[in-house]
Structure 1
């Protein structure tokens, strides 16, 4: 894929993902409370405002502040910068791969922006359950990141099966 097409695709996906995430977080902060929970569909969907100082499922949230800063702002920022450079310069990447990588980058950047703006925490506000299966509290950036990772896995799996059967 040509650089200009790749760059355009990155900009559009990034703007959509970060824009929707930041808008939903602003709405959550304006309309939800940390003291109450709103339930929908018989409690399957719960909206509750939380401040997550950790990463996925709160991991690392109890680390000392300086360690969290080093890992979750400097370390994550460096990883995301490397991912962006790789996505921009990878001439062999098809559109789905570029979209997948950009979704991972966008979810990470949007949560990183929260950490910088809010002094170390990410705004989370959704929780989903189905029977005995429950998610942690998450946000749109987390969903974007997970969908991007699943897409990237599927692209890699498809490529491997094509090579094996080709």
Structure 2
């Protein structure tokens, strides 16, 4: 993929991911912070304000503040910087891989920014489920991270296997 095309694609995905996530978080802060849970679609979607000091499903949220800083701000920041550099510099990435990594970096960057400006916490506000079977509470950045991971897996499955042409996977 031409470098200019990849940079444009990555820039659009990053701007869209971070912009949508930060905009929805600001809405959650202004509309949900002091309100009770709002229920939509017969309870399938619930909106409520939460601040998460940990990672996925609040993992690490009970760690000491200094440990959370080094883990969630310093280490994640270094990972995001390295991934972004790879994304921009690599000549081997296919468009699907570039989009996948840009979604991961965009989602991670937006949550990382939250931690910088919100005393180590990330704003979450969405919850999906039926009855007692529910997801953890999450945000748009988390959706981008999961979508990026899924696309990266898909891209890996589509990668060339020695002796086969791309697109021939699973066809004998």
TM-score tier, shorter chain, comes to over 0.9
Q: Is the 8 A contact 1:34 1:50 kept in 2?
A: no
The residue aligned with 1:40 is 40
List aligned pairs for 1:85-164, cutoff 5 A: 85-159=85-159, 162=168
Q: What SS does the aligned partner of 2:39 have?
A: strand
Aligned residues: 166
The residue aligned with 2:59 is 59
1:32-83 CA-to-partner distances (Å, cap 9, x unmatched) read 0356111111211100000000000000000000000000000000001110
Provide the rounded CA distance (Å) in 1 between the counterparts of 2:26 and 2:5.
31
Q: Is the 8 A contact 2:52 2:121 kept in 1?
A: yes
The residue aligned with 2:29 is 29
Please report the TM-score for the alignment, with normalisation by the length of structure 2.
0.91
Q: Is the 8 A contact 2:18 2:107 kept in 1?
A: yes
The residue aligned with 2:164 is none
Provide the rounded CA distance (Å) in 2 between the counterparts of 1:78 and 1:165.
41
Q: Is the 8 A contact 2:43 2:131 kept in 1?
A: no
Q: Structure 2: which 5+ runs fail to align?
A: 162-167
Provide the rounded CA distance (Å) in 1 between the counterparts of 2:125 and 2:170.
43
1:63-120 CA-to-partner distances (Å, cap 9, x unmatched) read 0000000000000000011100111111111111101000000000000000001110
RMSD between aligned residues: 1.7
Provide the rounded CA distance (Å) in 2 between the counterparts of 1:164 and 1:92.
23
Provide the rounded CA distance (Å) in 2 between the counterparts of 1:73 and 1:54.
11
Please report the TM-score for the alignment, with normalisation by the length of structure 1.
0.94
Runs of 4+ in 1 over 6 A off after TM superposition: none
Q: Structure 1: which 5+ runs fail to align?
A: none
Provide the rounded CA distance (Å) in 2 between the counterparts of 1:55 and 1:67.
13
CA radius of gyration, larger in: 2
Displacement of 1:133 in angstroms is 2.8
